[in-house]
Structure 1
């Protein structure tokens, strides 16, 4: 999240710099207290805020691609000319500055005025309804207003709270190192000011595609375009005791608050599942000084996604921090103060957290007669089988040009980017969704980034050292790179993403 900015570094750009001072086409300096990144691309020189508006990542450590700069941390993208955040997970634009070249030196002057929004709108739907208050739903609503859409936006969310930064729920906020006021994606008054009718604690019970209506809480609401962004819900295994009050899942802010509340008086916890979310929860609870046991059926954590070597590293990293694993085991029963596992062992537990994955919320789409195949089937423009109804996020299964098949991906950034594309297409644009899937995971001080989508591979090519926390892994099938994971190889990871994008464009 945004953090207190240190004293600006580098030269005073109002006094001018020499072109020879650039390194790899970039130079960090300042104007007053504002740290600024100078970028040379081709014949042009651009000045833009030096830090990403998402989590304050240093853009100087990123890469420049086709008139944009990409953040090294979570792959947000900004237009060098306008400062616009062109690609999630960033939404806030950056300031750009006037650049002058004189007497062989480069000077940065005043801020440039942000250009007025001029978006061609081939279609003018009067009313757009969004079902879902998560990543895709928020990104779509925000993009509609950014595209200068002046019609009605109704956002229906079953959550208790406005859209929040969900990745933080299992990371810094749960660990106690981030305050709650960092979580909202926008301040509460944003929705009213933007003319977004956000209705919380609202359940949609049915959709009538032919009448372009949906039913909510006994009422009926019409739409011209509809976005389904119902997301996914955590899996709670059918184990005796799974519904006890001290057994939690983690998806919403309310879920996270409940776990934090339980942790205040707890000494021991059991996490069921060695998934990304399960292990992030384990790391966060260890940061709170709680003894954590992880029970999972696999022989090594996350091998299915990251491979054996990275899986062993993740296990050893957590063990270094005191996590106790019970692998090749399942939980057979949960009691008030204990958990029984398939080996016959009994583990003491003041509370339990399920981290065994999620399932897409498809019931609404199924009842409406939309085409379903392990997700809501959409075309390359994210439109479902019913005209005027789009789907994005965890429920959407789309035709990915890299793999020649329909895929569904449960990643935060994927949902956000799909919401943005769906918003533009609901306005009549015909923009193909072809972004490369990306996610990040944080385990203590070690970030793991992953780009691409590899359900299977026949080779993992390791560059660097996994054990030394300096590596790039390429997951290949028949010689073709399907995905890349990395630890502290941010630039190489960004380059891998660009290579995948260009492979499709070609």
Structure 2
């Protein structure tokens, strides 16, 4: 029987690649709802919007790779149900495919804007979405971005870099404040203000109208283009309908196996029983897709594998580049230690929980992610004063 992979993103693409790299010679079918071959999503809000990346650069493999490696593609096709007893997936056209092992990498869906006229706002998830936004944003455009999370800020930076007038509306007091805390969040607020973006913080959208966004309180923002980036919802309906355990994603063990030992999950939907962090972790970032796809593929082949990668993500906005490594459990209180200069936006920020480094974010400081990870994995309490001292090399802190 066939090994079936459901999804058209990076996790799915890397999974089928790994199956072949590990010597699996049986039939492999990849089923994707989009008509595109599997592609990566970070360029959609970065290089593609800026015009610095070619469209071909987003694909995980070339179109020729799949027939060359005997991978059957069923694109523009949606899996409507899973029959676990018969080990079959049913497709929207009525076909059924038997599977020996099944990987779900169904990704996420952007949350629609829940206000009158909210359907006027463009959402960003697919290659087509990115191309529509890119075509709509010109140097004379008045762009309103709703939501100052990572996607919202990246889109705002790309639009402003292309010469558009950009307003960002955010309900919180600062961009990313719930993730980074006020001190580091202010860095991103200052970055956008310095580049001509107008931030409307502590503000709420009341309606999206023809040519305008109306805020609670009556202020109206002129808008030729409205883009909403208010988060995503993991696509767990297929798994839930099949009776798999679902709770903030699809529950998987360290091998990325679901409650059905022949079905695995990777990417955005995987809520992993993380063996190092000793907590369930679901992360919606590029590195998760990159790394869970191969682990799931090896587990499907019966290998004794374990997904213990630390969460990692990055962003590029204007002249700021950032990498973040680590994870803080919801509700945990962390002490922030800054190594470097916030004013020049060249620093490393560390989050300490019980005196131990839980996460680190390097901003315009490079080639330190391995060192940050070593500090996290050491599990040792570290003196905050020494951690902040740029005269002490990071490896010497261990």
TM-score of the two chains, using structure 1 as the length reference: 0.72
Aligned residue number for residue 396 of structure 1:
270
Counterparts of residues 39-438 of structure 1 (less than 5 Å): 126-217=1-92, 218-244=94-120, 247-264=121-138, 267-438=141-312
SS in 1 for 2:178: helix
Give yes or no for contact 1:472–1:493 (8 Å, CA) kept in 2. Answer: no
- Taking the aligned partners of 1:467 and 1:322, their CA distance within structure 2 comes to 17
Give yes or no for contact 1:306–1:485 (8 Å, CA) kept in 2. Answer: no
Give yes or no for contact 2:14–2:60 (8 Å, CA) kept in 1. Answer: no
Deviation of the 1:476 alpha carbon: 1.4
- Taking the aligned partners of 2:75 and 2:374, their CA distance within structure 1 comes to 38
Aligned residue number for residue 489 of structure 1:
365
- Taking the aligned partners of 1:500 and 1:129, their CA distance within structure 2 comes to 36
Residue ranges of structure 1 left out of the alignment (5+ in a row): 1-125
Give yes or no for contact 1:152–1:196 (8 Å, CA) kept in 2. Answer: yes
- Taking the aligned partners of 2:21 and 2:52, their CA distance within structure 1 comes to 32
- Taking the aligned partners of 2:347 and 2:68, their CA distance within structure 1 comes to 45
Larger radius of gyration: 1
SS in 1 for 2:298: helix
- Taking the aligned partners of 2:302 and 2:377, their CA distance within structure 1 comes to 24
- Taking the aligned partners of 1:468 and 1:265, their CA distance within structure 2 comes to 28
Give yes or no for contact 1:266–1:350 (8 Å, CA) kept in 2. Answer: no
- Taking the aligned partners of 1:266 and 1:349, their CA distance within structure 2 comes to 11
Give yes or no for contact 2:13–2:61 (8 Å, CA) kept in 1. Answer: no
- How many residues are aligned here? 377
What RMSD in Å do the two structures reach over aligned CA positions?
1.5
Aligned residue number for residue 353 of structure 2:
477
Deviates more, 1:322-331 or 1:262-271: 262-271
SS in 1 for 2:264: strand
Deviation of the 1:296 alpha carbon: 0.7
Give yes or no for contact 1:248–1:255 (8 Å, CA) kept in 2. Answer: yes
- Taking the aligned partners of 2:333 and 2:49, their CA distance within structure 1 comes to 34
- Taking the aligned partners of 1:436 and 1:267, their CA distance within structure 2 comes to 40
Give yes or no for contact 1:135–1:163 (8 Å, CA) kept in 2. Answer: yes
Give yes or no for contact 2:110–2:231 (8 Å, CA) kept in 1. Answer: yes
Deviation of the 1:150 alpha carbon: 0.8
SS in 2 for 1:237: coil
For each residue in 1:363-387, what CA deviation from the matched residue of structure 2 results, as whole angstroms up to 9, or x when unmatched? 0000000011111101111000012
- Taking the aligned partners of 1:194 and 1:177, their CA distance within structure 2 comes to 31
SS in 1 for 2:303: coil
Give yes or no for contact 2:356–2:379 (8 Å, CA) kept in 1. Answer: no
Give yes or no for contact 2:7–2:31 (8 Å, CA) kept in 1. Answer: yes
For each residue in 1:300-346, what CA deviation from the matched residue of structure 2 results, as whole angstroms up to 9, or x when unmatched? 11111122222111011111111111110111100120010113100
Deviation of the 1:264 alpha carbon: 4.0
- Taking the aligned partners of 2:187 and 2:41, their CA distance within structure 1 comes to 25
Give yes or no for contact 2:140–2:165 (8 Å, CA) kept in 1. Answer: no
SS in 1 for 2:367: helix
SS in 1 for 2:48: helix
Deviation of the 1:503 alpha carbon: 5.1
Deviation of the 1:480 alpha carbon: 2.2
SS in 2 for 1:490: coil
Deviation of the 1:401 alpha carbon: 2.9
For each residue in 1:74-117, what CA deviation from the matched residue of structure 2 results, as whole angstroms up to 9, or x when unmatched? xxxxxxxxxxxxxxxxxxxxxxxxxxxxxxxxxxxxxxxxxxxx
Residue ranges of structure 2 left out of the alignment (5+ in a row): 381-398
TM-score of the two chains, using structure 2 as the length reference: 0.92
For each residue in 1:133-175, what CA deviation from the matched residue of structure 2 results, as whole angstroms up to 9, or x when unmatched? 1121111011111112111111111112112221011011101
Give yes or no for contact 2:357–2:375 (8 Å, CA) kept in 1. Answer: no
- Taking the aligned partners of 1:299 and 1:382, their CA distance within structure 2 comes to 37
- Taking the aligned partners of 2:215 and 2:54, their CA distance within structure 1 comes to 35
- Taking the aligned partners of 1:134 and 1:351, their CA distance within structure 2 comes to 27
Aligned residue number for residue 343 of structure 2:
467
- Taking the aligned partners of 2:107 and 2:231, their CA distance within structure 1 comes to 13
Aligned residue number for residue 443 of structure 1:
317
Give yes or no for contact 1:156–1:202 (8 Å, CA) kept in 2. Answer: yes
